[in-house]
Each structure stands twice: as structure tokens, then as C-alpha cells.
Amino acid sequence: MTVDKEWLRVESLDLDAQGVAHNAEGKVVFIEGALPGEQVQVQVSRRKNNWEQGVLEALRRESPQRVTPGCPHFGLHAGACGGCKMQHLHAGAQIAIKQRVLEDNLWHLGKVKPERMLRPVEGPTWGYRYRARLSVRHVVKKGTVLVGFHERKSRYVADMQQCEVLPPHVSALLMPLRALVAAMEARDRLPQIEVAIGEGPLGLVTALVLRHLEPLSEGDVQKLRAFAAEHGVQWWLQPKGPDTVHLLDTDGPELAYSLPEFGVVMPFKPTDFTQVNHHINTVLVGRALRLLQVQPDERVIDWFCGLGNFTLPLATQAREVLGIEGSEALVQRSRENAQRNALAHKASFAARNLFELTPADVTAYGSAQRWLVDPPREGAFALAKALADLRQSPELVPEGWRMPQRIVYVSCNPATLARDAGLLVHQAGYRCTAAGAVNMFPHTAHVESMAVFEYDPNFVPKAAEAGEAVPAVEPPAVAGEAAPQ
């Protein structure tokens, strides 16, 4: 470690919430803990030819957006929790920076400039995390059990007594969980507890999924039951992969979340993918459907439909909705949810690998006036590429098939959204009419967003010009300067 006494002016934040500055040699310096506008000194820990990386050591000019972190486990100190990266930045400034990250990625990676920026979607900034995966570690040398997130830049589990982004009643379980595991015979074979919170008829339902690497003794099972009775939770056991998850006792209430605007209730299992932030998800679904502007006589396709988070609300507005998902198990759950909500006559589902789509695969599902696309971090490259191929090569288009008139793309990775947007705009003939950030994960560097694409009938297909080429592989996670790995 060396100490650089030069004062640096922080220019921006990168996607890992590190301050970005340039030193006197012109090198980019990534500074953990620094905020835009601040003058700082850095303790440099890594040096490369084109960049350096370090930690904030001294602060001469403080940003007006700097705030006191809400959690004592956040910070740059030894053992600090790595679950959050932005607690030192005002919540309003966090979403403004994420909006800028979205704009920068769209332009630098996709050469796309939205016609208008949507107001960011915001919600509660504390106690919002209805899903979490907590690591468990019996530390023999310290004579204790740790339950929580990993330490900053470490695989060690942080010594957490509380967590401000978890709902208060879950945060209050951290210390009792540590005591529970410490008392169990299998304490050394319990690597993880997953938390999932749903809505029940009498209030919130809290499920805890215990990953255990060996069968539990009857004594350990009784300890779990006593804990559940005392703290009002339900235990699920996971002896192997996610498909082995089962309730310890089968008489508890089911997990579900609701979308009141559409009269939809979505039952789910604790290992199913659902959004971490239920409040934001409710707002997100409503905004996506308003942007899609579905008419009662139209057909819609929901790509990467999961449990039907968008499919079932769409079915309340459209003539017909097809949800397509890669997991056969999720497709079956979607069908069950459609039945549960009396929407099976309007919502159908199909399973297929959405990362290996061809133009023929896309057209085989039939025309739809509107598409909703909600992929994982890898994005929807095959889907966007298929549309580009169909627009560039009319001979691939079967008789009667039509390009979707409007696409709403919900993204959890602005880099892959930008890549796919470049294809849709420059090769498939769409206009990006709107885009905006969604603060699904306050205090973290995670950027969720959505973009709207409108079919342009006047688009003239042509080969991508020099400098406008759209990458065919996933681009770097940060626009502009390459961040250290």
C-alpha cells in the first residue's frame, strides 16, 4: 500500500459506486467512498498502466449530497458489510446518478438517445428488501455464528447485528438466528438462509429457507419449530438444489404478492424469482402497462415472463397474452397463477430457451401488436437480433406476420439494454421514445430501468455505418472508462 498525497477532484461515480478522478499523470483513479465534486486524497491499493484504484483517505471538500449512513455496518472500516455501496449518498442523488448511468450506457454502448427521459421510479429507501440470501458461518475460533451478507470485498460473512434495508422484523431476527444456529447440531453444515416475504390474509408472511448439507436431527427440527412459533415465521428446508425446497410443516399460509391496480394475486414459492422490492414492483408494472398502451382488441407477447408478473396484468387489458419463459417449472406456475386469477382464457404460456431464438422461432409465435420484454442481466440479444434480421431481410418474414408496433423493455442491466437498444434502433427500425431508471435497490449500485421502442415504418434498412456498429457480445459493465475487476 502507498499513500498518494495529491488532492484529486472527483468527477463522477462508476457503476460500482466508486468515485472517478484523474491524477496529475492523467491516469483514471477509482476511489471507494468518494463522491462527485469532492476533493480527496487516496490510499492507492492497485496500480495499472491506465488506472489506479484505492480508498478515500482524506476529504478536503465535502459533497453537499454526502449523508450519514443509516446502518452502522456500512463503511470503509475492517469488517464492514458489503451489501450496500451508496449509503453515504443522499437517496435522491443516488437515483439521479443511476439515471445518468442509463443515459451514458445507451449513448456510449448503443448510440441511442431516448426522445424523452422518464421520471425515475422511486419508493421507500429503508426496509424495502423482501428477498435476501443470507450467508451462515460457524466461526469456531471466535466461538460464534454469523448470519448476514459478506464483508466488503471479502468472502467472509460480516458480523451484523442489524440490517436497515431488510424489513425491521427481519432485521430483528439476525441475532436470534445466530443463537439458533449456534445451538443446532448441524451448525457447521448450514451455509445459507434465504428470506422471502409475501402477503397473507393476516399480514406479512415471512419464509426462511434453510440450506442444509446433511439430514437434520429430530432435535434440530424441534429447535426450528420452536423458533418459528416464537418469531412467527415459516421454515422451508433445502437439502440439495432449488427443486428440493419444501415446507417443514405444511399448515402455514402461502406466500403471495398482490398487484391491486389489476386485481391480481401472485402466489409464489420462496425460491421463485420475484422482485426484491414489492412496492417498486407494483409501481413498475403499472408504469410498464401504461407505456405499452394495450388496446382491448390486441394480442401481446410477454418475453421472459417468469411467474406472470406482467402477463396476468396484461391479460386484464388485452384480447390475448402469450407469456414465454425458459423454465418449464415457471411456465407451469404461471399457468396455475392464471387459473387462480380467472385469466386462463386470455393468458397462455410456452417454455423455450430465449437465448437461442432465430427469426423463424420468433415469427412462429405469431404477430402481436405489443411486446413486453423483461430479461435477466444477460439481456435479450437473440430477440433483438431476430427483429433486426427480420427487418433487414424481408424474405425471412412469413406472410401475414407483422413487427410489434411498440415494445416496453424492462432491464436490470443498463449495458445489455444499451446493446439491445442499438440493435432495435439501428437495424430493426425502432425509435427509442422514452427511457428511465427504476430505483429497485436503494443504497446499492444496481441500476434497473425501462425503455420504450416504437416501430418506425419509414426506416430504411442499411448496413451499420462505421462507428455505429452494434456489438454482438455483451459490452463492458461501465460506459467510458474501463473499471478495474
* Residue 389 annotated as lining a ligand binding site: no
* Residue 305 annotated as lining a ligand binding site: no
Residue of 412, 418, 437, 478 marked catalytic: 412
Q: Is residue 294 within 8 Å of 370, Cβ to Cβ?
A: yes
* Residue 325 annotated as lining a ligand binding site: yes
Nearest Cα to 453, choosing from 377, 354, 383? 383
* Residue 57 annotated as lining a ligand binding site: no
* Residue 275 annotated as lining a ligand binding site: yes
Establish whether 305 is a catalytic residue. Answer: no
User: Residue with C-alpha cell 457447521?
Assistant: 188
Which three cell numbers, joined as nine digits, stand for 313? 396484468
Tell me the C-alpha distance between 236 and 185, whole Å. Answer: 18
* Residue 81 annotated as lining a ligand binding site: yes
Which three cell numbers, joined as nine digits, stand for 141? 475460533
* Residue 337 annotated as lining a ligand binding site: no
* Residue 163 annotated as lining a ligand binding site: yes
β-strand 234-238 against 320-325: which pairing, if any?
A: unpaired
* Residue 309 annotated as lining a ligand binding site: yes
* Residue 23 annotated as lining a ligand binding site: no
Which residues belong to the annotated binding site for [4Fe-4S] cluster? 71, 81, 84, 163
Which residues belong to the annotated binding site? 71, 81, 84, 163, 275, 304, 309, 325, 353, 374
Which active-site residues does the annotation give? Answer: 412
Which residues belong to the annotated binding site for S-adenosyl-L-methionine? 275, 304, 309, 325, 353, 374
